[in-house]
A and B are shown apart, each in its own frame.
Chain A
Amino acid sequence: MASDGARKQFWKRSTSKVPGSIQHVYGAQHPPFDPLLHSTLLKSTPKVPTTPVKAKRVSTFQEFESNTSDAWDAGEDDDELLAMAAQSLNTEVVMETAHRVLRNHSQQQGRPAPQQVPTPEPELQPVAEPPPALIGDLRLVKSVSESHTSCAAESASDPVPLQRSQSLPHSATVTLGGMPEPSTLGSSALSEREASRLDKFKQLLAEPNTDLEELRKLSWSGIPKPVRPMTWKLLSGYLPANVERRPATLQRKQKEYFAFIEHYYDSRNDEVHQDTYRQIHIDIPRMSPEALILQPKVTEIFERILFIWAIRHPASGYVQGINDLVTPFFVVFICEYIVEEEDVDRLNISRVPAEVVRNVEADTYWCMSKLLDGIQDNYTFAQPGIQMKVKMLEELVSRIDEPVHQHLDQHEVRYLQFAFRWMNNLLMRELPLHCTIRLWDTYQVSAPPPASRNPRAFHISTCTFVLLSS
């Protein structure tokens, strides 16, 4: 065995930066955050709020879903939500909530409230919508990745992966930006709103030149199902705003994609590409929602899309997680061609006309490419995009909920340990698919051009929301 001196040397050396790593993790030196233990505690002991201030809001995901008039499903949203798209309101809500939180905290700690809320990175501010909704004073922190390990049978097709927080006391007051709760709205009023929203979308889309700015505003609070495919194609920049140019563009792009296939796809078994193909090939069956993706035809489509993307983007190539990003596009685009009632999981692809499937494949490829253009640094060497985003998440949490931040720090939990996957898979493993799709409605509009295809800022806000509300 090496002498003590030598060992010290070794450790001394390794405290310095190791290539490609940002931080070391001292998971075993101190009693680490124990997800299994922690969740058992959560389940068995109903939490008694320690202070009245803290008792305010604790909500489960379903509760949040049912208490907000958002477009979780096509057209469920209402006009009030449109107002939230206005940046001024967002900023106001953010500031107000931030002030309130700071006030509460300082009261607890017996310190005067700071006059000024620290200004977050400019790009974070306008889109920090979700945190105000759930900046509860909830101090429970639970990595969602933990629920994966501890919940044996959980599959990603489980529609309610966040339900374990159900045993938490229910909130008395959940409001989102002062909106009325859906229960106060008559269902007929709701459907009228739905219809009028849908009309607005249809009008916009039918204009000779779609006003993309207006479309963004409208899409922020969710896109009705019937117009979602077209709206996504426009917002991602795949299709032009000019209505007359769209069919030709579609045709050209679809042709282009299939030319790639013809050109490159046979090379998947060549020595240079076989690792990539092999990885894609073994990953797709391990994805969800299985029922759809496990159909051989769909599996093949995913393989083609991912392989072509990977070899055309050698800087990152195929990285696990990218496969997940194909799903929302594919599902949204294929849904355009299936009967309303039909569950996408039960869709039999061989009953959809071949021409339609081909078009969906090409559209999926291009829209996924557009999305990935903005986040490719998530997947290049050492994954700098993810490292940076995790840092931003940490920064944001430390500013809006210092106790949570300190709690994590005290238990030596590094953000990278639980938030890596949130960034790498855009929360797709954490949320049911229909929520991801709804989330992506907003991702598509969250940043103005030229970074229009970069859902970074809104995504970080969403992650903050997940962390502070779970």
Chain B
Amino acid sequence: MAETYDFLFKFLVIGSAGTGKSCLLHQFIENKFKQDSNHTIGVEFGSRVVNVGGKTVKLQIWDTAGQERFRSVTRSYYRGAAGALLVYDITSRETYNSLAAWLTDARTLASPNIVVILCGNKKDLDPEREVTFLEASRFAQENELMFLETSALTGENVEEAFLKCARTILNKIDSGELDPERMGSGIQYGDASLRQLRQPRSAQAVAPQPCGC
């Protein structure tokens, strides 16, 4: 029996190399720190069903490679994302400085309405901090981002980051600001009970069925 959910959101995890994107995802999905995390090549996936404001939401998370050279390829994965975690490393100014470029990519390639939460990761390494909470929150405010400092190591604020992003998207759906049926919204209805998807092709694929293979 396949899991049921009210909505499916496509999420991205983006940011420079070595900021802990895969570890954040791993912590969110497995509830533990991934000690021997290898660098991501291309894209990896994870998903988890969460409860937000009385709704069941399946988060389908695309964890992208951070190295510059992969950018031309990873960009092709952005299309139709509803939410994104934009990650930098609080102990590396360099990763903070490239945030603007990542954000531009997300807004132009995914959707101008993409809901982005800025994550200052490696909060546990406070003694080595190079980016203050204050300046990052200012950046977040100026760019209309939500902001949290997270630690994939301790798990602090990791769940919150994903949930906060999901909650905001749900609110926007409720208020009509986001239309799930718009092409490329990054949002789908989960159950036939809620609403049938319009395209026959996707409707067919939505029904959990043994694929006969």
Contact = CB atoms under 8 A, between A and B. Distances in A.
Given A28-B81, A32-B60, A149 B187 contact: no
B32 A152 contact: yes
Interface stretch (A159-167, A201-209, A355-363, A421-429): A421-429
A317 B8 CA distance: 39
B3 A37 contact: yes
Contact of B2 (A21, A37, A410, A417): A37
Interface string B61-85: 0110101011111011101111000
Contacts of A386: 73
B194 interface: no
Contact of A282 (B18, B82, B199, B211): B18
A376 to B, nearest CB: 12
B165 to A, nearest CB: 14
A403 B17 contact: no
B44 interface: yes
Contact of A21 (B36, B76, B112): B76
Contact of B47 (A36, A41, A140, A421): A36
Contacts of B42: 145, 416-417, 420-421, 424
A29 interface: yes
B193 interface: no
A417 B77 contact: yes
Contacts of B37: 286
A321 B188 contact: no
A48 to B, nearest CB: 9
B177 A1 contact: yes
A30 interface: yes
B72 A20 contact: yes
Contacts of A282: 17-18
Contacts of B99: none
B173 interface: no
A383 B60 CA distance: 26
A319 B67 contact: yes
A36 B25 CA distance: 14
Q: Is the interface of A mostly helix, strand, loop or mixed?
A: loop
Interface stretch (A6-14, A62-70, A73-81, A254-262): A6-14
A26 B79 contact: yes
Contacts of A20: 71-73, 75
Contacts of A27: 10, 60, 62, 77, 79-81
B128 interface: no
A30 B199 contact: yes
A213 to B, nearest CB: 35
Interface string B98-140: 0000000000110011000000000000000000000000000
Given A139-B211, A140-B213, A279-B17, A287 B38 contact: yes
Contacts of B177: 1
Nearest to B78: A25
B65 to A, nearest CB: 7
A148 interface: yes
A411 B3 CA distance: 18
Given A29-B183, A37-B2, A417-B43, A18 B76 contact: yes
Interface of B: 2-3, 8-10, 17-18, 25-26, 29-30, 32, 34, 36-39, 41-47, 60, 62-63, 65, 67, 69-73, 75-77, 79-82, 108-109, 112-113, 177, 182-188, 197, 199, 201-202, 205-206, 210-213
Q: Nearest 7 CB-CB pairs, A to B?
A: A139-B213, A20-B72, A28-B10, A420-B42, A30-B202, A21-B76, A421-B41
Interface of A: 1-2, 7, 10-11, 14, 18-32, 34-37, 41, 45, 50, 138-141, 145-146, 148-150, 152, 155-156, 279, 282-283, 286-288, 290, 316-317, 319-321, 379, 381-383, 386-387, 403-404, 407, 410-412, 416-417, 420-421, 424-425, 429
18 contacts: A1-B113, A1-B177, A10-B112, A21-B73, A28-B8, A28-B186, A30-B205, A30-B206, A31-B206, A286-B39, A320-B17, A320-B67, A383-B69, A403-B213, A404-B213, A417-B77, A420-B73, A424-B42
